[in-house]
Structure 1
Amino acid sequence: MDMITFRDLEPGDAGWVMQRHGELYWADEGYDIRFEGLVAAILSDFIANRGPQERAWIAVDAKGRRQGCIFCVRPKPEVAKLRMFLVEPARRGTGLAQQLLGKVIHHARATGAARLVLWTHQSHRAAGRLYARTGFALIHEAPVEAFGQATVEQTWELML
Structure 2
Amino acid sequence: MDFDVRPFEAADADWLVSEHATHYAQAEGFDDSFGPLVRRIVDDFLRAHDETCEAGWIAHHKGQRLGSIFCVRKDNTTAKLRLFYVVSEARGTGVAQALIDQCLGFARAAGYGGLTLWTHESHAAAGRIYMRNGLTRTHTKAVHSFGVDLVEETWQIAF
Q: Same fold (TM over 0.5)?
A: yes
Task: Report the equivalent of 2:57.
Answer: 57
1:93–1:28 Cα change, 3 Å: same
Q: How far off its partner does 1:8 sit? A: 1.1
Output the amino acid matched with 1:60: H
State, as a whole percentage, how many aligned pairs show the same letter. Answer: 44
Task: Report the equivalent of 1:84.
Answer: 83
Q: How far off its partner does 1:76 sit? A: 1.1
Q: TM-score, normalised by structure 2?
A: 0.97
1: CA distance, partners of 2:21 / 2:134:
29
1: CA distance, partners of 2:117 / 2:141:
14
Whether 2:109 is the aligned partner of 1:107: answer no
Count of aligned positions: 158
Q: How far off its partner does 1:75 sit? A: 2.1
For structure 1, which runs of at least 5 residues remain unmatched after alignment? none
2: CA distance, partners of 1:75 / 1:156:
13
Moved over 6 A (4+): none
Give the secondary structure class of the aligned counterpart of 1:12.
helix
Whether 2:8 is the aligned partner of 1:20: answer no
2: CA distance, partners of 1:22 / 1:155:
21
Q: How far off its partner does 1:94 sit? A: 1.0
Tell me if the contact between 2:8 and 2:57 (Cα under 8 Å) persists in the aligned partners.
yes
Give the secondary structure class of the aligned counterpart of 1:42.
helix
2: CA distance, partners of 1:30 / 1:133:
28
Matches within 5 A, 1:1-160: 1=1, 3-52=2-51, 53-61=53-61, 63-160=62-159
2: CA distance, partners of 1:7 / 1:77:
26
- Deviation by residue 1:43-87 (Cα, 9 ceiling, x = unmatched): 1110001112100111110x2110111011002121100000110
2: CA distance, partners of 1:11 / 1:108:
21
Output the amino acid matched with 2:128: R
- Deviation by residue 1:8-31 (Cα, 9 ceiling, x = unmatched): 122320110000000101111111
For structure 2, which runs of at least 5 residues remain unmatched after alignment? none
Over the aligned positions, Cα root-mean-square deviation in angstroms equals 0.8
Give the secondary structure class of the aligned counterpart of 2:10.
coil
1: CA distance, partners of 2:104 / 2:154:
16
1: CA distance, partners of 2:78 / 2:88:
30
